[in-house]
Amino acid sequence: TVRGGDSMEMFINSGPVIKTKWVRILHCEGDASSNRLDFSEADIRKMATKASQVQICTRGNPSDCVVSKADSFPIQMLRQGRAVSHNGASSCNSQCVQGVWTSTGGNRLSHLWNTCGHGDKLGYWACNNENGIHLSVTDGETCGWTVRGGDSMEMFINSGPVIKTKWVRILHCEGDASSNRLDFSEADIRKMATKASQVQICTRGNPS
């Protein structure tokens, strides 16, 4: 209002930010956990036909995950209702893992290799790898980054991009007495505005 005294900010948009949307399909909270599937196996197979990647994480920690590369065998196996650890009846050794998976934090790729078994059931089975993921959909079975279990884990599939507007602050004030209100020079703001299409004015720190 004309009475002033508020803290305010002005922004211009600076293009979209595209992020992957992930949908959880499986979770476990220790070996004793039950009801691990978020959807029926039939629905998961159907959802997987529209997805291209699988993500396995420590529960609630998106910075501690492994993510399959787009359209690689893990998502193909999920479409068949099979484990994402194996390429059909074939195991996936450490060299195979390097070509199929990436890690968002730490060295989680060493938890993925397997050299035996087959993947007939949903989940992940790092067969012959004691320090590998054993993630079962069956109540009361192993849930962990290693064969010892006891972890809380989640499995996701991607479900299309989420597009959000990126905002760049150009002006701010913290009450009437504030100074140095511009974040950029007026010349730079005019130049930036040629590539923008919107202006946003907010109470400072409150995008809602």
Cα separation, 66 vs 22, whole angstroms: 13
The encoded tokens of residue 165 equal 């507007």
- pLDDT on residue 200: 93
Instruction: Please determine, for residue 199, whether its predicted confidence score (pLDDT) is greater than 70.
Output: yes
Element (H, E) at 192: helix 186-193
Confidence of residue 180 (pLDDT cuts 50, 70, 90): very high
Task: Encode pLDDT of 24-64 as tens digits.
Answer: 999 999 999 999 999 999 999 999 999 999 999 999 999 99
Q: For the beta carbon of residue 114, count every other beta carbon within 10 angstroms.
A: 25
Q: Which residues pair with 150 in a beta bridge?
A: none
The DSSP secondary structure of 87-109, one letter per residue, reads BTTB---HHHHHHHEEESSSSGG
- List the one residue out of 207, 204, 208 whose CA is nearest residue 8: 204
Cα separation, 44 vs 24, whole angstroms: 10
- pLDDT on residue 20: 87
Task: Encode pLDDT of 84-126 as tens digits.
Answer: 999 999 999 999 999 999 999 778 999 999 999 988 899 999 9
Q: pTM score, two decimals? A: 0.73
Q: DSSP 3-state assignment of 207?
A: coil
